[in-house]
Amino acid sequence: MTDHDDKMTELLGRYPVKLNSYCKALAERSPAVAKLYLPDLRELDNPGLSSDGLAELEQSPVRNLIRRYRDRAVLLTTSECFVRCRFCFRKRLWADGASHFTLSDENLDAVCAWLDRTPEVDVILLSGGDPLAMNDDRVVEIASRIRDSGNVRTVRVCSRAPAVEPARITEKLTERLSVIDGLWFVTHFDHPDELTPDAEAALKRLVSHGIPVLDQTVLLKGVNDDPETLRRLFKRLAALRVKPHYLFHIDPVEGVSHFATGVERGLEILEDFRYTLSSLALPMFAIDLPEGAGKVVLTPDCRDADGRYRSSVTGKYIRHPLADLTDSGE
């Protein structure tokens, strides 16, 4: 075996590939989409980063619940996904040695009891993994119980299904989700090639049932880090009545640093959008800080003189280890 073969074996042992037939066919047609799902030896590069660079495990008052902000929390419903994205910031959930899970009844009871004791939390994000990797009954049960607990008013179902398994967005599922008060659907598209006719039909199905839909996109070097690509994506989403919500810089976790563009590239793209995108199609550009310091919405004046970002959680200024990169031309 060659050194390349040895490294690829190591990579696949650490971060296994999971690719369904839908995304495999899409990756064969789109080189950009292929980069989202196919292994890259640069995933083995680890410039001093942690598998939990956002300190989620330190901010968990109940197993599988992450609370970073006063009024909202994230519930990890399962470690399972339809595919495994190579830029995933929760690779720790499916890396070699990880314990795969789906939220148990006992764990759900504990989360609901915590919400009853914590009335200031009124927004819960159902995440994972991908919640829609579970069956309809379990998704609806968890969303309904969370909505009826404590002072919860809004439940966001966060799922890549419209982009990676659009057949999962069935008429039956959308009907059942649509009757849950305060439910929003948050999906994730990174490239206009992902907006296939099947994906568009899935989004239309959600919207036609009165479910508000937001999109989150990650700025990825070599995939979508140019204004024209993202402009096409965001305009098409807005035309489908899906609001581009956030454009995120890559997170500071191990195994993803080769996707980092540096913040300046994102700000350049944002400046272009000021003149070429309406507010309906314009997302906020944001970065998640290490140490559990939360999101910062990025603008040209978002940093101090030392290039640090002000935490929305603590108010302290924090440096982001992947934010100050410049394009090396690779």
Give the residue numbers marked as catalytic.
Answer: 68-69, 72, 81, 85, 88, 90, 251, 288, 295
Pull the structure tokens for residue 114.
Answer: 């915590």
**By three-state DSSP, how is residue 236 classified?**
helix
Bridge partners (DSSP) of residue 218 are 248
Pull the structure tokens for residue 214.
Answer: 């937001």
Pull the structure tokens for residue 49.
Answer: 């980063």
Contact 102, 78 (CB under 8 A): yes
Contact 244, 203 (CB under 8 A): no
φ/ψ of 199, rounded to 5, equals -65, -45
Contact 149, 115 (CB under 8 A): yes
Pull the structure tokens for residue 320.
Answer: 């982001």
Pull the structure tokens for residue 326.
Answer: 């410049």
Cα–Cα dist 261/82, whole Å? 26
For the beta carbon of residue 326, count every other beta carbon within 10 angstroms.
9
